[in-house]
Amino acid sequence: ELEPSWSLPYLHLAAVLEAKGEVLQAVATLKLASAQFKDKAVLMTYARLLLKQEQYLLAKKQFKAVLLIDKRAPKARFSLALIHMKLNELVDAELILEALFEDKVFPAKAAFYLGRINYFRKDYQSATEWFEWVPKGGDYVEAQSNISKIKFQQGDLEGAIEVVRKLRVASPEQSTKLYLLEADL
């Protein structure tokens, strides 16, 4: 009230409302703030809250608004790619993820999701190539598990099992999951 041109209190108010479970009021607060301020932080916070509420089309619009302010905003680009995937707009998602990978922005995540896109398209060669780019940590186990499944689907049971066994040695904390995968194969 004392400084209506300051966007930060809107962010704090929305955070408090969300923490109290008053999500609709938090969304309304950020909607008001995003209309009043063309502030990157406000737009990103609003977009993320919409994303949590599974309001993908509205979130997509807000992430695009962020990119009008800062076309290189990595988190907005990555989030937009994931929304495109969720909405089955795979070509749009792929373009963004390839650009992120080339720009070395979230390259492991970009490679993982590019692998998934190609896996669902049944382009197993490309999927495998993308999954191979995923380094240890993060999505590594999932990427390698997908490579194993691809080998199995291509009739290479020995290769599929070999990937799982190597993965079990590299990631012993995932051994239960990997034993189950091997049993499935």
pLDDT of residue 172: 86
Alpha-carbon distance 75 to 59, whole Å? 13
Instruction: Look up the pTM and report it.
Output: 0.84
Q: Measure Cα distances from 14 to 3, 11, 26, 65, 147 in Å.
A: 17, 5, 4, 19, 42
pLDDT at residue number 74: 94
* CB 84, CB 53: distance < 8 Å: no
Q: How many CB atoms lie within 10 A of CB 111?
A: 23
Q: How far is CA 66 from CA 58, 63, 127, in A?
A: 13, 5, 30
Instruction: Please report the pLDDT score of residue 132 as a whole number.
Output: 95
CA distance 146 to 86: 19
Q: Over the chain (185 residues), what is each successive 10-residue block's mean pLDDT?
A: 83 94 94 90 94 94 94 94 96 97 94 96 95 90 93 93 91 88 88
At 95-133, the pLDDT tens digits run 999 999 999 999 999 999 999 999 999 999 999 999 999
